[in-house]
Structure 1
Amino acid sequence: MEMTALVLLGLFFLLLIANVPISVSIGLATLVTLLMSMDLQPAATTIAQRVAGGIDSFALLAIPFFILSGLLMGRGGIAKRLIECAMALIGALPGGLALVNVLSCMLFGAISGSSVAACSAIGSFMLPEMQKKGYNPGFSAAVTAAAATTGMLIPPSNILIIYAIASGGVSIAALFMAGYLPGILVGLSLMLVSVVYAKRHNYPLGDRLPLSLVVPRVLAALPSLFLIFLVIGGIIGGVFTATEAGAIAVLYSLLLSVGIYREVRVQDLPGILLKSAETTAIVMLLIGTSSAMSWLLAYENIPQTLSDALLTLSDNPLIILLLINLVLIVVGAFLDMTPAVLIFTPIFMPVAMELGMSQLQFGIMLVLNLSIGLCSPPVGSVLFVTCAVAKIRLEQIIKPLLPMYLAMFAVLMLVTYVPWLSEFLPALFGL
């Protein structure tokens, strides 16, 4: 077992270092490891079956729908209206532009379901504005990168759907509701850091707008915000499934972007559909190859062995959960969220449940861990997208990010040790 794990993980990280795409690295590492115990033809056949089986799920149909909905929202002028709404509501507070940045990322991330889309759409508008007002470019980019990750927790979230499948059937509706309080808490903690930073550096206050300007801006954003209530309300109310909610989100996004806001033309749709198909293909290949690796880990009994080893390290559940968190933070800094969820859920979830943690609480803890990795070097995708949008070097963003890492880690500890944060809303709605 030790040799299998060593070959599998060693080859995987070696391929990653060689800049081989993640899905290919996972598939090749799994195939080569399997060749240690069987011939090429049965090994290749087994891998192919596991890849096909990994994506053979009705729940996964929600992902391409939400990807397409997010692209339509991103191109449809949604970001601009959300920023104007946030500016009208909180722009005059200390660190107002930073607070607007955080709130806009939270709202757009919740609507689009993509942290990369949030940092790109919101950052392309907010970062130049913040720099014009005298904000440090590194701090402005750090706010955007950290806030964009809240979309992974605030539903609808594709990664929560993937966790629901990896965990063996946790209710997607319950997971969606479980993500709200932790996601909002992360956003509030980032706002607190932003206010303290802005006061220390004497950043200017924004203009306080009259009510005659606030109301139209809020009303203009309401059609976009209604998507959240439409999708989540329908799922919780049992009107439709998460997959059907994705289809409804596409129809509503199409109506909003093409019919009401008119920022997406009919001739733009083929390009948007093609981009959606490309993104879906990448995600599905990651899910398929990660499922194959997860099967191999289970076949070699590696999760159970690691679980037993963790439980023998200490009798204190607090220490074991802290160790799991530290491991997952490191994993998130190197590995994309989709394979990380599929590979590490079967490894750590049994340990967490043995310590009294529910599948809901563990799922939110896992996603929050990996969200921190999205804005962490050396691989964090959100971090590099934000640097590209802000046109700054990586070293300029790291120092301002440190207090934001601490704020996110503090929320992570609360999620880990306070089950109420993840379980209150699902229980309130009977999920």
Structure 2
Amino acid sequence: MKRSVRLLLPLSLALAAVGVHGADVTVSGFGTLGYALSDTPYSYQRFIDEQGTFDRDSRLALQVDTALSRRWSATAQFKFAPDEDSDSRWAPRLSWGFLSWRPNDDWLLRVGKLRIPMYLGAESMDVGVSFDYARLPIEVYSIAPTLDFTGASVTRSWDVGRGELSVDGYWGKTRSNWRQYARDGVPGYLAAGPVFASIDVVARGLALTYRNDGDQYRIGVHEASSKLADGTNWVDRPVLISPLPGVAYYNLLPGPGMPERRTMDMVIANAAMDVGLGRQVRLGAEYAVRQLKDMDRGVNSSAGYVSLRRRTGAWTPYVYYAWLRSDQDMIDLYHAVNDNRVPAWVPQADLINLSQRATADGLEIHDQQTWAVGSAYALTPSSKLKAEWARTRVGSGSSLVDAPAGSDVRFQSINVFSLSYSFVF
């Protein structure tokens, strides 16, 4: 409750100031009530398992837009959804909160909490009415270390023929939460289950977007530098330690002799399009490549999806294929650590072997692909029903899946059935 009061107080003060000065205020909102069920006992995308869940897709938000003058405006958006640093509670959160200045029709400057202009659905990814899929493909939409930042952005637009070309540049900071999952834990050191780490991220980038008659194209380059908020360093890679002849195990904990660095620096390049093919058929596609700079562990990967959808009256059936795959050397490193065991005669062998699995869990790898078939049905212009069946095939492993204790999810399939109702007001 105290957190809710802290979040709502700035908005209340802003509305009070608006009332005094007589500015034009627009209040809107959106929400989704979504249910997802899989055929596996372990969790996928944090929440989805055979017990079913409303937590994966459900949310409620309120947005206040204030026109302070012809050139100045302010926006605040509050969202109530599953907390970013807990799998067991919901919490209110300030999604957006920024001041905009448009010196003329070609320039837009914004300062405050903003959304990174990376994905096609970046600004509306929480608004279920704005897209036809049950959820935007996680393979692509999980690749950025953060979606929001607090800082500044500049947009320059040009009229090009019948369309509009725009360039977005941004810079800012945020504190994000990095979730990992420990299958077994290490008694006395690490509890089994979800593990959250606070990450301080500095993000900057450029995005070029062209819009024409409902079609949209985007390319971008984005950089992010991440630090662990507790002041500890990142370890570049697990180091193989051999305390006895014929005995070796991997270590990923900071300490003397470990290859460490203060920041994890990555670059993401992306390209996307959503175009009409005629006869109410649309093609959507997004692709992204993520690379770390001079660091041996972790998140080097590529991701993409291709979709087709066709509007037929109130119905919009669709199909898409999506994939996310880490670089092969990252996958090989993961298996080298995950499969490593010390003999039973080694002192504390059980504890060491558990630590190997925990170390593997700390190496974020992805190797999965998804086929999805579904349909949206527009009840009204401001509400949609959606139903979807998706089949995800895991290859060498995936950090989007909470692997069961004592095992892994290598070469397994996950079927997910989703039903949701989305609305705006």
User: Which of the five TM-score ranges fits, normalised by the shorter chain?
Assistant: under 0.3
What is the TM-score normalised by the length of structure 2? Answer: 0.21
Between structures 1 and 2, the one with greater strand share: 2
Between structures 1 and 2, the one with greater helix share: 1
Say which structure, 1 or 2, has more relative contact order (CA 8 Å, 6+ apart). Answer: 1
Please tell me whether Structure 1 or Structure 2 has the larger radius of gyration of its CA atoms: 2
What is the TM-score normalised by the length of structure 1? Answer: 0.21
